[in-house]
Structure 1
Amino acid sequence: MLSAAQNDVITQITAGKPAGKLLRCYWQPAALAVELEGERPIRPVKLLGQNLVLFRDESGKLGLLDRDCPHRNADLAFGRLEDGGLRCPFHGWLFDTDGNCLQTPAEPKDSKLCKHIHQKSYPVIEKSGIIFAYLGEGEPPAFPEMDCFIAPEPYVFAFKGLIDCNWLQALEVGMDPAHASFLHRFFEDEAQDAAYGRQFRATSADSEIPMTRVLREFPCPDIAVEPTDYGLRVIALRELSEEQTHVRVTNVLFPQAFTIPLSATMTITQWHVPIDDTSCYWYAIFTSFDQPVDKKTMRDQRLKLYTLPDYRPRVGRFNDYGFDPYEQANQTYTGMGEDINVHDQWAIESQGKIQDRTREHLGQTDKAIVAFRRILIAEIRAVENGTAPLMVLNEEQAKTVRGPATMDGVGPTQDWQEYWQNVDKRRRQGALWAVTEPTLGE
């Protein structure tokens, strides 16, 4: 149980707040690359409590600027893309992707005003379908050579969704292996030809048992949490018999992501990115090891739940998450449909805009959450003391963080540790692009 003061420290992310200073040490997902497609590649972005405008100029170069024009603070998100930059419609001031003022056309012809005007700009880079931004001071860190960043474009798919609560409770649901047996329980299994792209539907490695059955019939996993050089490894063991155990290995990537298996051949790396203190986006990169991702199917599946242009969920507090009492009695544990994103959304949003952790009572299944909070508080203190926190990497360090290895499969009860590592190696050896020896964080 945390104190109210401790809860504030780990949840508040605006500029100057302790967690805000920490998160500004990292590249943050700011938008999907597809959001800048079309005739007018300009998007308003709110990230870590800051109002920004993201755009591609006429040459295709990315720019991220403070959203208020430095002239009289009009909204640059309504600007015009022309003459090599973004032009404010109020008085025509023009800014390039670096924030340099190129023109102040309403001023006298001999005016040198624009030479003294600079709009705050931020580094941006596109990786695997996501545009990342760095809002911190100094040089941004290097990207680790993780699977989701080194896989070729056809083998990755990116998406996002809006969540109406604080970033930390959204992240913490992914550290809890036990909840899936309840929150995501289905009373009947589906045919495998409908499993593609859907969480907890496919069979595990070396098994014909669908994950829905594993979770339903074996609801009490033995959970182990191991520290790694990137955060935490979480292992959930569900003993099916004396001979066989279901092994699920997931990873917490500090400070705000996790990597989990979607199926035997695909993983999800998912960030939880604060808009402000009381809302966030999840951003996910789906990475395939065996064949290019069917991006149309993946996108169509997810657009059944989310609306454009802001990726808002079609169900939420405003319509009781689609709750159906008949469904709860006969089909699903929650009565909230078949998309597990809705289940998670209810679980974390129902805790309140910012969870009051002074009122919670943690158990053994929460050991990963406890371990992560300890790391989070320690790294917040490190930043306050002027020390680089965990996973702020230079180029050489970034080359050593690979993978991370993640899987679920059914293996021998006695030799499960060797089994899961061999499953990951086997998957990598069959992939054309994968690094065959990912970090185990040991």
Structure 2
Amino acid sequence: MISQKQNDLYTRVGPGTPCGTLLRRYWQPVALVDEFAGKRQVKAVRLLGENFVLFRDAAGRYGMLDRDCPHRNADLSFGRLEHGGLRCPFHGWLFDADGNCLETPAEPVGSTLCKKVRQKAYPTEVRSGVVFAYIGPGTPPAFPELDCFAAPDSHTFAFKGLWECNWLQSLEVGMDPAHASFLHRFFEDEDPEASYGKQFRSTTFDTDLPITRVLREYDRPEIGVTPVDHGLRLTTLRRIDEAQTHVRVTNIVFPQAFVIPMSPEVTISQWHVPVDDHNNFWFTIFTSFTGPIDKATMREQRLATYPEPDYRPIRNRSNSWGYDPDEQKAATFLGMGFDINIHDQWACESQGPIQDRTREHLGTSDKGIIAYRRMLSRELERVEKGERPLMCLTPEEAPAMRGPVSYDGVDRSGDVERYWREGDAKRRADAPWGGKVEA
């Protein structure tokens, strides 16, 4: 357990808070490109306890501005896209993607007021179907050459969903390999051929064992945690017999993402982005190392539980996350369906808006969470001293930040690290887009 002061330090993210100051030093996902496919090219964004408006102008350029109009603070997310910018419906003031005031039409002819007004604007970048924004000080950091950014559009798919709880308890799911044997336990194995787009349903590398069986029958994993340049690497071993060991390699990419395998072909890169202290969006980029991703199927699967336009889950606290006691007895360990996103959502939201970590009792299997909190404390101290935190990359550093390795297979050699490194290298060598081996 930790103190209430430490818990507040980790979880509070508004302007001026230590953790909010840290997270503002990084690019943050704020929207899906798919959200701009319809009639409306303007959307409200709430990020780290602040309000913004994101829009795409007629030239296809994204702009993110403070949401309150600098005239009399009306909500610009209801603005009109006109003449290369966003026009406030209150008095017609017009702003471009850089925050320049282009027109103040209610003013007298010849007025120069618009030259004296500027709305605060924030840099944006589009990567793999996600719009990222930077709301911190100075020049934004460079993007790392992670697989999810290096792969072509045909081999990536992005989606998001809202969880009504603090960002940290959501991220900590990705540092906890042990929970998968319980929270995601299915009593029967599905046909792996029907597993497309579903996590923990296919077989692993180098075997025909369904991953559901591995998790169900081998529930005392050996977990190793290694500090690496991008954050942490977790290696989880499940001994199947004297000759075979199931190996799962996952990663924490500081400050708030994890990279894990979904299947032998596809990896998941997922950010947990604070809306405010009590809510967060997960943004996921799926990356294929084989053929192009079937985006229509992936999108349809996920919209069934996280529908547009708000991406709020249809299963939530108000309906007990769809809990079914008959299912819990006969089909799944949790009793909340077969979508593991809902399982994780329940685990995180049921802890409350902000988990009270003064009441927890961590065990050996929580070593990833312990290591991350120490890392987070260290980087908070760095920022407080005015130093550059981990993964706040320069343009010279970014190209070397590749991968990271994400792997799920069965080793028979007895040399676990060599097994997953060689397997990952082969997968990358065979990838049509030429995924580079982690530096």
| TM-score band, normalised by shorter chain | over 0.9
* 2:310 counterpart letter in structure 1: D
The equivalent residue for 1:334 is 334
Are 1:345 and 2:345 counterparts?
yes
The equivalent residue for 2:253 is 253
Change beyond 3 A, Cα 1:358–1:60: same
1:435 is displaced (CA, Å) by: 3.0
**3-state DSSP of counterpart to 1:396:** coil
**3-state DSSP of counterpart to 1:321:** helix
The equivalent residue for 2:83 is 83
1:422 is displaced (CA, Å) by: 1.0
Counting only pairs closer than 5 Å after superposition, residues 4-403 of structure 1 correspond to structure 2 as 4-403=4-403
Distance in 2, Cα, partners of 1:39 & 1:176 = 41
Distance in 1, Cα, partners of 2:285 & 2:14 = 26
Distance in 1, Cα, partners of 2:35 & 2:291 = 25
Distance in 2, Cα, partners of 1:86 & 1:436 = 41
Distance in 1, Cα, partners of 2:358 & 2:40 = 46
Distance in 1, Cα, partners of 2:251 & 2:85 = 41
Deviation per residue, 1:99-141 (Å, 9 max, x gap): 0000000000021111000001000010000000000010000
**3-state DSSP of counterpart to 1:408:** strand
C-alpha contact 2:413 2:419 (8 A) present in aligned 1? no
**3-state DSSP of counterpart to 2:381:** helix
* 2:106 counterpart letter in structure 1: A
C-alpha contact 1:147 1:434 (8 A) present in aligned 2? no
Distance in 2, Cα, partners of 1:436 & 1:397 = 15
1:40 is displaced (CA, Å) by: 2.4
Q: Which ranges of structure 1 fall in alignment gaps of 5 or more residues? A: none
1:436 is displaced (CA, Å) by: 3.5
Distance in 1, Cα, partners of 2:177 & 2:417 = 17
Deviation per residue, 1:120-170 (Å, 9 max, x gap): 100001000000000001000000011000100000000000000000000
1:38 is displaced (CA, Å) by: 2.3
TM-score when scaled to structure 2?
A: 0.99
* 1:149 counterpart letter in structure 2: F
**3-state DSSP of counterpart to 1:29:** strand
* 1:66 counterpart letter in structure 2: D
Q: Number of residues paired by the alignment? A: 439
Q: Which ranges of structure 2 fall in alignment gaps of 5 or more residues? A: none
1:76 is displaced (CA, Å) by: 0.4
C-alpha contact 2:402 2:436 (8 A) present in aligned 1? no
Please tell me the root mean square deviation across aligned C-alpha atoms, in Å.
0.7
Deviation per residue, 1:28-81 (Å, 9 max, x gap): 000001112223211100011110000011111110000000000001001000
Distance in 2, Cα, partners of 1:242 & 1:270 = 34
Distance in 2, Cα, partners of 1:374 & 1:312 = 32
**3-state DSSP of counterpart to 1:395:** coil
C-alpha contact 2:193 2:202 (8 A) present in aligned 1? no
C-alpha contact 1:245 1:413 (8 A) present in aligned 2? no
Distance in 1, Cα, partners of 2:83 & 2:151 = 36
* 2:4 counterpart letter in structure 1: A
**3-state DSSP of counterpart to 1:53:** strand
Distance in 2, Cα, partners of 1:436 & 1:410 = 23
Distance in 2, Cα, partners of 1:47 & 1:147 = 25
C-alpha contact 2:403 2:436 (8 A) present in aligned 1? no
Deviation per residue, 1:202-233 (Å, 9 max, x gap): 00000100000000000010000000001000
**3-state DSSP of counterpart to 1:157:** strand
* 2:223 counterpart letter in structure 1: I
1:353 is displaced (CA, Å) by: 0.3
C-alpha contact 2:9 2:19 (8 A) present in aligned 1? yes
C-alpha contact 2:164 2:278 (8 A) present in aligned 1? yes
Deviation per residue, 1:382-413 (Å, 9 max, x gap): 00100000000011100111000110001126
Distance in 2, Cα, partners of 1:436 & 1:51 = 38
Distance in 2, Cα, partners of 1:101 & 1:417 = 57
**3-state DSSP of counterpart to 2:81:** strand
* Identity across the alignment (%): 61
The equivalent residue for 1:424 is 424
**3-state DSSP of counterpart to 1:183:** coil
